Amino acid sequence: MISHVTALHGRVFGFIEAKLDGWFLGLGARLVFAAVLAVYYLHSAATKVGDGLLGFFSIGDNAYFQILPSVVEAYGYDASQVPFFPYDLIVFAGTYAEFVLPVLIVLGLFTRLAALGMIGFIVVQSYVDIAFHGVDAATIGVWFDRLPSAAILDQRALWVFLLVYLAVRGAGALSLDALLGRRALGRRPTTAAQLHLE
């Protein structure tokens, strides 16, 4: 009896896995990222630049306060006094990465690199929140407790795991990465193994 149930279980889930292999999880991970995190990060990035279309090309003081709070404090809370190298470069890179990386992930373009970049961004964001913005212990949280709602250790662990999946497995067959990969090869992939290469 147990062997029949095990065999049925294997057949059913083997069929489902075969039908979803190569496209579903990458697409699903990108859709979840778009629904949960992309707008959050794009909105956060928008608070770091000026208003209007041309404002996009102007880094605001708020970017310094969010990204390098201790450095701005050392210069009397006057962002214009912060030295160009390396601080302006860090703020510039952090601000525009927050715009570019989420868009790349949603489109499935350079997904693995973008996911690695977002993981680094989340780690730095969490460090700044803890070390410089003074978040409380409840916001930081503790793993292996009964409360899964802490913003940093609980929620961001799930964010990072989603991005780890994309970094390891890629965006899947329904992505710009896959389209460009097929064009580079000059043919369409025909096997699941070829789909996993994208």
Stretch 98-109: mean pLDDT? 98
Say if 153 falls within a structural domain: yes
Say if 38 falls within a structural domain: yes
| pLDDT-wise least confident of 41-45, 99-103, 129-133, 173-177 | 129-133
Q: Report the candidate in 108, 68, 70 with the shortest Cα–Cα distance to residue 90.
A: 68
Say if 4 falls within a structural domain: no
The yes-or-no verdict on residue 188 having pLDDT over 90 is no
Number of domains in the chain: 1
The yes-or-no verdict on residue 194 having pLDDT over 80 is no
Stretch 67-75: mean pLDDT? 91
pLDDT for position 193? 53
Say if 46 falls within a structural domain: yes
pLDDT band at 198 (very low <50, low <70, confident <90, very high): very low
Say if 115 falls within a structural domain: yes
Say if 13 falls within a structural domain: no
**C-alpha Rg value of the chain to the nearest Å:** 21
Round to whole Å and give the CA distance between 120 and 117: 5
Say if 159 falls within a structural domain: yes
Say if 17 falls within a structural domain: no
The predicted-structure confidence for 11-68, as pLDDT tens digits, reads as follows 999 999 999 999 999 999 999 999 999 999 999 999 999 998 889 999 999 999 999 9
Query: What is the extent of the structural domain holding 79?
Result: 23-196
pLDDT for position 143? 96
| pTM, entire model | 0.86
pLDDT for position 197? 47
